[in-house]
Amino acid sequence: MNTHKSAALPLALAYAALIVYASLYPFTDWRDQGIAPWAYLAASWPKYWTGFDFGINVAGYMPLGFLSALAILRTQPGGGLSAVLRATLIGAAISLAMETLQTYLPSRIPSNVDLGLNILGAFAGAAIAAALEHWGAVARWSRARSNWFVDDARGALVLLALWPAALMFPAAVTFGLGQVFERLEEGVAEWLVDTPFIDWMPMREFELEPLVPGVEMLCVMLGALVPCLLVFLVTRSAARRALLLPMTIAVGAAASALSAALSYGPEHAWAWLSLPVQVGIASALVVGALLLAAPRRLCAALLVLALVVHLSLLNQAPESAYFAQTLATWEQGRFIRFHGLGQWLGWLWPFATLGYVLVALSRRSPRS
């Protein structure tokens, strides 16, 4: 009997948080505009619309419906119709709440068409999950997961699923998540300005310098190795680790390329793949290969060490010279809703991973 917990529920909750963020960004200028919050429900068909707008509203809620239905099916196997209805209602409730709250945001326009398309997306995602369950795909995945991963792998799998999303906002160093020191220092200084406590701030006597190629290579290697070690921590055998090692790094490279393409244009998709980055990725593959048979306890210890060294080196470097350009790009058009969320995810992912490993070690030592 499988004793592992499904990752569908935490992923559904994380995706719901993404929807809330994207729907209510920029979270400013809340005010009553003299319009009933439900008035949009009786509005006429919009005068201007595009296929992209329709498609994004459907596609945006499909993962929510899919993950919600999977989470329900994990607790009530065989209840396909019930799971579809409940997941669709969850999507409808969230969409209704978001569209209603947008009435109080002058920068957003609530729409009954968006509401209908969101519900359609949630239904479609839930229907796909129910169909997969009916065809036995969910049961096969559960068996495959039991064969590939340890029972308590849910937290690691959620973190691994979020890793490519965390890489979407461009970083100063490839795979360089968690670069918060400079921004944190500036933020604290802004909070303390015009207060006596500003004198308590330690004054940095030097400017942060860009990383030399050798240190950049080391940062790239550690940044690529961290998710690989996280995979090793929850994978049952060396043979399966050998398959997942290149797949993990390939996913990270694809996410970095997509990020560069969205930020600077498709022609710059691989501009980040400099010589230090290539050497760093190759080194991560070599080190990962050497650790394929390492015990889980050793993988956990090396993961903590890699995270600490990576964060220490990374936070001694300034933000990318192209940060202002990137910021302007992401804060315009279709990226505006995800700019802040992408940054926060990139900042917090390594710290969440560090916390996960430390908590796991405090509960019990991972078995070999």
Residues 278, 284, 290, CA angle at the centre, nearest 5°? 140
CB 82 within 8 A of CB 138: no
pLDDT at 14: 84
Task: Give me the pLDDT at residue 78, please.
Answer: 64
Question: What is the band of 185 on the pLDDT scale with cuts at 50, 70, 90?
Answer: low
The mean pLDDT value for 322-327 works out to 50
Q: What is the pLDDT of residues 260-284, one digit of tens each?
A: 887 777 888 898 899 999 999 999 9
CA distances in angstroms from 180 to 66, 189, 216, 271, 331, listed in the order given = 34, 14, 17, 24, 20
Comparing 30 with 50, which gets the higher pLDDT? Answer: 30
List the one residue out of 130, 301, 295, 303 whose CA is nearest residue 223: 303
Output the pLDDT for position 107.
Answer: 77
pLDDT confidence of 2, banded at 50, 70, 90?
A: very low
Please determine, for residue 210, whether its predicted confidence score (pLDDT) is greater than 60: yes
Closest listed residue to residue 241, CA positions, set 283, 285, 279, 280: 285
Report domain extents, the chain: 8-148, 161-363
Contact between residue 341 and residue 27 where contact means Cβ atoms under 8 Å apart:
no
How many Å apart are CA 353 and CA 342, to the nearest integer? 17
DSSP bridge partners of 235? 149
Residues with Cβ within 8 Å of 221's Cβ and at least 6 positions away in sequence, in order, are 280, 281, 283, 284, 287
Cβ partners under 8 Å of residue 94, min gap 6: 16, 19, 20, 64
**Chain mean pLDDT for the chain:** 82
